[in-house]
Structure 1
Amino acid sequence: MGASGWEYYVPYQEDLGAALDALRQSVFDAQDYYWDPWNEDDTDEARVRPSTLDQLWEDEQVQEEGTHSILDMHRMLRPGEDPDYGTVQPVQPAEAYQMAGTDRLTRTDVQAIEPLASRRWFGRCAVLHDAHGSPEEIYFWGFSGD
């Protein structure tokens, strides 16, 4: 199947990790992720969608192929941490300025910062501001899945 790009906008909250957790739960609850209902061994037995995120990640096929969604991201990186599989890294002010010419990003700057998430199984997020410069929403984007 190959990797899939994904993107989400959520209302701003100061705790980016909590925003990631809430987004993941929302996507899971809406069943807005890739789920192959058939077993890999080509049997006629359909796989039932899991009822919790923990159950989702117990599924061997999900572990190998991912969900092609934010569900493949497990943790928000802290400042100074190196990006790793399944992590989301916030856009830093210097990156924002280099890519978009401002450190107060808005929705109009999204296209300029999208190249910051070029690696598979790794996500980015950026705080987006309103016309008055106040934080308004958080943009999450990346690529995952096999």
Structure 2
Amino acid sequence: MDYQADVNAALQQLRQQVYERGDYYRESRDPDLDMTEDEFRASLAPRDTDPERYDAIVEDWLERRSGPTPIDPDTLVEAQPRSGTHSIIDMVNGVSAEPAFATVSPLADDNLIYTFDTVKPSASQVEAWMGTDIAGERDRWVGTYIISYHDGRPAHIHFGGHSGD
């Protein structure tokens, strides 16, 4: 992504682009959600065999059925709370100074120097590094961003990380 001073704005723009391209994991639609409540209840074992389990199953079904219909990155994440999207869309908490759940944060200067021998890596250096397995850099559901430079000036913002399984 081309550099812009507001990293959070760049993140939100990228999340929207990924959503519009459909470049994310989609949960398979559960055919049970197309049933009426009466049909779903009829498909279960009788309530008197295990009333607590029966009630829990119905409650879960009702909750899943009432979930939002995705119309943007945020409602997509709400619609897939168990799996996420396996994409930048999962970074719903924006940008943080330090690594945190569902955020992107910069790679620290000492990590930049260790990885690139500079705090101002080129785009090709960052792209080559991101082409490797960067999963060990951060926990799942914690994203990274790196600003690459051209002629000493910020040129691009690179986002990376792993969410989902």
Q: TM-score, normalised by structure 1?
A: 0.75
> Which residue of 75, 84, 88 corresponds with 1:66?
84
Gaps of 5+ in 2: 35-64
Cα deviation for residue 135 of structure 1 reads 1.0
Indicate the structure with greater strand content.
1
Gaps of 5+ in 1: 1-9
What residue number does 1:76 align with?
95
Matches within 5 A, 1:1-146: 10-39=1-30, 42-43=31-32, 45=34, 50-59=70-79, 62-74=80-92, 75-78=94-97, 81=98, 83-110=99-126, 111-112=128-129, 115=134, 117-130=137-150, 132-146=151-165
Indicate the structure with greater helix content.
2
Give the share of equivalent positions with the same residue, in percent: 34
Q: Provide the aligned C-alpha RMSD in A.
A: 2.4
Largest Rg, 1 or 2: 2
In the aligned structure 2, how far is the partner of 1:108 from the partner of 1:57? Answer: 31
Alignment size in residue pairs: 128
Q: Whose relative contact order is higher, 1 or 2, with alpha carbons under 8 Å and at least 6 apart?
A: 1
| Alpha-carbon contact 1:28-1:53 (below 8 Å) kept | yes
What residue number does 1:3 align with?
none
For residue 99 of structure 1, give the secondary structure of its aligned residue in structure 2: helix
| Alpha-carbon contact 1:117-1:143 (below 8 Å) kept | no
In the aligned structure 1, how far is the partner of 2:5 from the partner of 2:18? Answer: 20
Kindly report structure 1 stretches of 4+ aligned residues shifted beyond 4 Å.
none
| Alpha-carbon contact 1:117-1:123 (below 8 Å) kept | no
In the aligned structure 2, how far is the partner of 1:21 from the partner of 1:126? Answer: 16
